[in-house]
Structure 1
Amino acid sequence: MSAITSFLRPDFTWPRPMGSSICKSTPKVPSSPGKLRLRAWGIVHEALYYISEWYCACFGIQFDANIIQLPFGLVLKWTDRTSLEEAAAMHMARAAGMPIPKVLCCGEHPNAPYNRNFSILMTRLPGSPLENSADTLLVESEDPWLFELRECVIAMRRWTSPHSAEICSAIGTSIRSPRVPGHIMGPFADENEFNDYLLSTASGHGFDTTAEYIKALEQANEIRNYPHRITFTHGDLKAHNILVGDDGHLSGFLDWESAGWYPEYWDFTTAMRYGTNSWWFQVASWIGGDQYRRELKCDIALNSLTVDSYIAF
């Protein structure tokens, strides 16, 4: 009886250990499900939403309308940022051997309020999320997760895009990022078009003088002087998206909603532009970000110029 009830508990998980090596060749891009199938699963997911309210009440856990907890080690992600592109990126990363939740099915919700138009039913992984701090990174003292995370990031950067647009999602469409108005952009034919878009909302609102604004604009535009490879990118490489098991190994790599094909610096500057010299800044720098210090200065300037355009979303 206890074995049966363990499947129902909110701490039941489906471990996905790291592969012996992460595939360095591009995983196959999954085919997109048909509209009828997406809508049918959407109806099922809407029913699961209400089941989760009852389930959470039974186990005394807080109900989250975005990350919906379910029995049998399942989680339903249903936010205004969830998309088919995220599900495709998860399929690719899991196929490469990374510890990624297994996508079971996707649902479409054409009439849902607040732009919650898509949902993903997936397995729950074990482990605890990392937390940033002001500590000093001691590489030789860290558990295996640090080296395993670096292996995942390095492997992704060796994949090659099958799409004609250089900067796009895993399936060649728009990419989602909390760093732009409406949190969606592209696809873009090349890096110049990408940079033009990022700077299109530049404003002097946050500067005391015109001289400060011009200086920041010049610094942000300096990114154009550095050509970059286009690599597969997680898009939100933050500490809270990394799960570590009790054994110290990487047990989960989460939240692929911003994943896609970006200039090679994007993952690192996104991770490093806040909390300079914090513990996570040092992690991202050690993984590979240290080679993009010039780009980081440009990215920080870009953020100061454009943050007003997306911070309210």
Structure 2
Amino acid sequence: MIGLWVPSFLRPDYTWPRPIQPAICETTPDLPPIPGKTRRRLYGIFHEVLYRLSGCYCSWFDIPFDANIVQLPFGLVLKWTSRTSIEEAAAMQMARAAGMPVPKVLSCGEHPYAPFNRFFSILMTRLPGTALDNSADPLHVELEDPWLLELRECITSMRNWSSPYTRNICSVIGTSLRSPRVPNHIMGPFKNEEELHDYLLSPASGHGFTSTAEYIEVLAQANELRKYSHRITFAHGDFKAHNILIGDDGHLSGFLDWESAGWYPEYWDFTTAMRYGKSSWWSQVVLWIGGDKYDRELACDIALNSLTVDSYIAF
């Protein structure tokens, strides 16, 4: 009955399309202005009101209430998790300014006394499309819709951006990086790759290996990464299939979840996406986009993961 009289802009499937631009900017976009603390606190109060209203809204439309991705009318969502940050909001604004189909950031809220480390929230537009689903199927590039070429253009273009910071492995605003693959899911900033590699290998453990010899062999493989020098480029940081939305027309309609974005060694997005094997459909996508150039780094990254997974998997 609700559907007979509720305006479309109030429905939970209402979206604000952001078509991918004809050409993605290949030069580093300007850093967006960062709202001051007072403004963030005021928006935080407003976001808390929206959070409470969302419970009624979801009940009205009989949809599940998600405390992390809060559904709202007018094609809006409120992201409020322990990982949401001002760095994510800035990264989204940069990517959108470059022409990528990224949600529009409307406001950033700060919650200094919130429980469970939920200190920051972002109010943004809802984009249309369906998230990609990884599988064991083979990739047939010639049969895929235009989204595949468009995604490659996004990744290729932002890899031409360069870090403006002296400690150039860092977030978009020069602060620590958030990554699901390190202890406490936060690291840096780092001046160079050597500092990054020291940190990544610091929690290495022989736990789970059948012998000391095996541990030493895998550790040597991980340390091979130190032999290679890389450009520092902009990376999404969590380049996974479920963060990509495809519209009904087959075009790229959304590029989501920029919480780990920042300045990394050029291999980072690719090896992070492929470190659990090349056989899946998504790994084949990443290989085609450019991951095939980093076979050596991937072998090192797989070894690194086996040495350090115990240090971050519980977080």
> Could you say which TM-score interval applies, normalised by the shorter chain?
over 0.9
1:87 aligns with one of 86, 89, 107: 89
Q: 5+ residue gaps in structure 1?
A: none
Partner of 2:290: 288
Secondary structure of the 1:247 match is coil
How many pairs align? 313
Indicate whether 1:204 and 2:202 are aligned. no
Is residue 54 of structure 1 aligned with residue 56 of structure 2? yes
- Is the partner of 2:102 in helix, strand or coil? coil
Pairing partner for 1:257 from 248, 259, 262: 259
The counterpart of 2:168, out of the listed 166, 169, 176, is 166
* C-alpha spacing 1:202/1:252, structure 2 compared with 1 (3 Å): same
The equivalent of 1:232 in structure 2 is 234
Aligned residue number for residue 214 of structure 1:
216
| 1:120-199 matches, cutoff 5 A | 120-199=122-201
Q: Give the match's secondary structure for 1:7.
A: helix
Question: Alpha-carbon deviation of 1:299?
Answer: 0.4
**1:113-124 paired onto structure 2 within 5 Å:** 113-124=115-126
Distance of 1:109 and 1:199 partners within structure 2:
34
| Aligned mates of 1:175, 1:270 — CA distance in 2 | 15
Tell me the distance in 2 between the aligned counterparts of 1:275 and 1:263. 20
Give the whole-Å Cα distance in 2 for the aligned partners of 1:57 and 1:94. Answer: 32
Distance 1:193 1:162 in 2: 18
* CA shift digits 1:86-144 (9 cap, x unpaired): 00000000000000000000000101111110000000000000000011100000000
Q: CA deviation at 1:161?
A: 1.3
Aligned equivalent of 1:248, options 247, 250, 253:
250
- Kindly report structure 1 stretches of 4+ aligned residues shifted beyond 6 Å: 1-4
The TM-score, its normalising length taken from structure 1, stands at 0.98
Q: Which amino acid aligns with 2:75?
A: G
Separation (CA, whole Å) in 1 of partners of 2:53 and 2:126: 17
Cα deviation per residue 1:175-228 (whole Å; 9 max; x = unaligned)? Answer: 000111111100000000000000000001121111111111001000011100
TM-score, reference length from structure 2: 0.98
Q: Which one of 11, 14, 17 corresponds to residue 15 of structure 1?
A: 17
Shift of 1:56: 0.5
**1:31, 1:158 → 2: CA distance?**
22
AA in 2 matched with 1:41: Y
Q: Which runs of 5+ in 2 are unaligned?
A: none
Distance 2:18 2:277 in 1: 31
